[in-house]
Amino acid sequence: MDEGGPAQAEPEAGDLKNEDPEFVGVVKDTVLGTLQQYGWFILIGIAIIVYLYNRYRPQLEQWRDQREADSYKKMDEGVAYSRLEAMERARQRMQAQLDEQAKEFAEKQRQKEEEKRQARLEDWDRHQQGKGYRSKVRPCGMMCYCVIGSLLD
């Protein structure tokens, strides 16, 4: 097909020689030498990395999501304010529970003190009647029954 322009000369077969630059050959030799010498170790290392990545990917994604949510919460005033309100409500709830437990403990302590006072009054009344200031018999349950039973036999 002659377009009327100057004819282009086709290059000869000897001119089409593609020579790689020297650094490409050096890199290729280094990579191949490393793979030949440490190939199995590299393959096992890659397999371990892939396994660990697949194993811990959900935790990693959860951690990333948590970090992103935390950074968003720090920036948004409404979310930060609502979080502070929720924390204050939780503190108030915990304080109310603690106050209730303190009231119950104080009531139990009052009851114990009242029982001790009644026991002292009874001891004093027995002492006034001449029955002795304190009872010498102590209720010890099954042990006393066993000792008394063995003495009677």
Give the model confidence (pLDDT) of 30-76 as tens digits.
999 998 999 899 999 999 999 999 999 999 999 998 988 777 766 77
d(CA 18, CA 84): 71
Residue whose tokens read 């949510």: 69
Full-model pTM? 0.36
How do the domains of the chain map onto residue ranges? 48-131
Neighbours of 114 (CB within 10 A): 10
pLDDT in tens, 2-27: 555 555 656 565 566 667 678 888 89
